[in-house]
Amino acid sequence: MSRGIGFPVTYRCLFFACILALTHVRTLADPPYKNCSTSPGNFSDAKFQNQRNDLLSVLSSYASKSRFYSTKVGDNVDDQLYGNFLCFGNLPLTECQECVTLAARNIKKLCPMSKQAIGWEEKCQLRYSDEPFFGTMDNTANLPLWNNRSVPDPELFTDAVKKLMSNLTETAAYHSATNLLSTGHSSFEDLHGLAQCTADLSPSNCNSCLQFALNQILSCCSSFRGARVYSKSCYLRYELYVFPGIDSDNPPPSKKSRRNVLVAVFVAILVVGLIVITSICLYCSVLRKTKHQGKYGTLT
């Protein structure tokens, strides 16, 4: 009986260690986030799935041409579905399309039967509804998120965040050339920020959305080293590194990617260590087994 134990126990440990390592890596990748309606709406379910599939494929294919697009599908009042996507900042179009395609896949999983939904990814957002929403500002589903690691001098940092983000907010709404977008960085440390609205908003609606989001950041988390507000109508984010959508001719290696490298190295060391330990255990149990077998052999 005792002979059988060595193998499964070691493998079980290895299995759990791998699961642990994998879940650790997964927690670093935060999005997608979602807000899905629960009201049944007027669609029959089969019709709805069809219309949504049509809408999502039109949106995904358009993301190779533009960072913002809105459209509707359906000819009759009771089968229309409205949708848009927004790729954040100056995201390259190839990445925009990848992101919107991912968002389309995720929103079907995250909001299977919702007639109104928005999904937020790292680099883009995707929204649809059975009610028209183009041109209206909506901050009812705003989702502020932050990296809760602190900074050495929170007061100084908060001031820098406030100064940079107020500037970007006003610039995006009133002084951006076409697309209600502004990015910038502060001389304070390596602080980068982005403020953006869906391109269908008027400047004053854009300003309202961004001001509201900025106040959310200032009241929850401007003393933390990174924060963002996801919204149906705008996007606000700052970090101490260059993040997706920020203009940078020659982006320095970001703190985040350095951290990812550290995690990868840690996982690699863990896995190699486990393999070594497993091999030693296997070797020992084989030795023990052959020893026992030898003994029994001489006895019989």
Ligand X SMILES: *[C@@H]1O[C@H](CO)[C@@H](O)[C@H](O)[C@H]1NC(C)=O
Q: Which residues sit at the interface with ligand X, rule CB under 6 A?
A: 35, 41-42, 130-131, 140-141, 148, 167, 170-171
Longest Cα–Cα distance in the chain: 94
Distance from the Cα of residue 29 to its chain's centroid: 6
Residue closer to ligand X, measured from CB, 171 or 211? 171
Residue closer to ligand X, measured from CB, 95 or 130? 130
Kindly state the smallest distance separating residue 185's Cβ from ligand X, in Å: 10
Kindly state the smallest distance separating residue 91's Cβ from ligand X, in Å: 22
Kindly state the smallest distance separating residue 208's Cβ from ligand X, in Å: 16
Angle at 280 between CA 275 and CA 282, to 5 degrees: 90
Residue closer to ligand X, measured from CB, 110 or 277? 110
Kindly state the smallest distance separating residue 54's Cβ from ligand X, in Å: 17
Kindly state the smallest distance separating residue 80's Cβ from ligand X, in Å: 8
Give the pairing type, strands 143-150 and 81-87: unpaired
Residue closer to ligand X, measured from CB, 45 or 131? 131
Kindly state the smallest distance separating residue 32's Cβ from ligand X, in Å: 13
Residue closer to ligand X, measured from CB, 41 or 83? 41
Residue closer to ligand X, measured from CB, 14 or 162? 162
Helix H, strand E, coil C: the string for 16-51 is: HHHHHHHHHHHHHCCCCEEEECCCCCCCCHHHHHHH
List the structure tokens of 263: 């995690």
Q: Which of 130, 117, 66, 125 is nearest to 92 (CA)?
A: 66
Q: Residue 112 and residue 110: Cα distance in Å, rounded?
A: 6
Q: H or E segment at 7?
A: helix 6-28
Burial of 60-88, coded b for 16+ CB within 10 Å and e otherwise, reads: bebbeeebbbbebbbeeeebbbbbbbbbb
